[in-house]
Amino acid sequence: MCNEESYLKEGSCFSRSKLYNIEPIGLNTAYTESLTSYITRISKAHSVYVGTLIKLELAPILDKYYILNSSFNGGNSFYSYTHILNGNGKNADDFANALSEMVCRKDILFTTMLSYRNVIPYQGLSKNTASWCPFCLEEWRIANKPIYMPLAWTLKVSNICNIHNTRLVSRCPICNSKIPFLHRKICNGYCPRCRAWLGRGYDQNVSQLIKTDDWEKWVNCNIGELISMAPVISILPSREILEENLKHIINTSNNITRLSKLTEIPKSTVWYWANGKTIPRLDKCYCSAIDKIDVLSRW
């Protein structure tokens, strides 16, 4: 125990966050919140627009010219590319670290795909604009739960909702606009252009939501497993483990040529994967029926 004098003098027993210490929704589940959704909720908690939060708090810390320029002079040069914040590149890393310091939390990185930065390339990883399940949004609204956008919905290979067995929607039901992940005046669950509620298709457009198949469900379950296990990984997946496991899969299939035929992936591509020349893109893994979990963990 520390006495009151040293507690106040050294400040070693506590730390004060600059922004509210809000926990990301759905940690350790397949429905973990995305970073852009978290930024939007933080803005709402402080009763300011997302644009204000980025302009006055995040942009100065990040000290990136294009963000500062977009924040102070207008334009969409920054907001048009905010899909990369949910991925595993440098911008996702910069924003996650900056926000982690401001809210005094160490779990913000799990709202991105940064845990897999060494084994999943950023190419073909994130969608350019948002997609969502109107059924989920409407159920959360009715139950008075926080409205948010899960990380899984931001990934290119995830196009369905396993809970409601429907495809994700990617356009506003009123103005037919595509929704950016961040916008100066965005609010989770609403179109930033016409302010329409994105869950309003819950009753009206049921017939328009095409049913999914078993293949898509398998892909979505695999994505959910990747996301849910990220916080409990003691050692981040490495290129060495990836290469070792890919060789194991090839050996199980007898040879590269046979695996290439089975998966309809070019033989040269499979060879590059097995020899550590390139990293399998997430969409290529699932198109070839390779379970991404299998190539990231030890046998």
Cα 104 to Cα 16, 17, 50, 97, 207: the distances in Å are 7, 5, 19, 10, 45
Q: What is the number of alpha carbons within 13 Å of residue 79 lying toward its C-beta?
A: 23
Rounded-to-integer distance, Cα 224 and Cα 243, Å: 23
Class of domain 238-296: mainly alpha
**For the chain, domain boundaries:** 25-232, 238-296
Rounded-to-integer distance, Cα 192 and Cα 180, Å: 8
Q: Is this structure's pTM higher than 0.85? A: no
pLDDT tens-digit readout, 111-140: 999 999 888 888 889 999 999 999 999 999
Instruction: Show pLDDT as tens, one digit a residue, over the chain (299 residues).
Output: 444 454 444 444 457 889 999 999 999 999 999 999 999 999 999 999 999 999 889 988 887 766 766 666 666 678 888 999 999 999 999 999 999 999 999 999 999 999 998 888 888 899 999 999 999 999 999 999 999 999 999 999 899 998 988 889 999 999 999 999 999 999 999 999 999 999 976 554 454 455 557 778 878 888 998 899 999 887 777 777 777 777 776 666 666 776 666 666 777 777 776 676 777 666 655 544 455 555 455 43
Residue 22 burial (CB count, 10 A): 16
Whether the Cβ atoms of residue 173 and residue 204 lie closer than 8 Å to each other: yes
Task: Report phi then psi at 144, rounded to 5.
Answer: 60, 40
Residue 192 burial (CB count, 10 A): 19
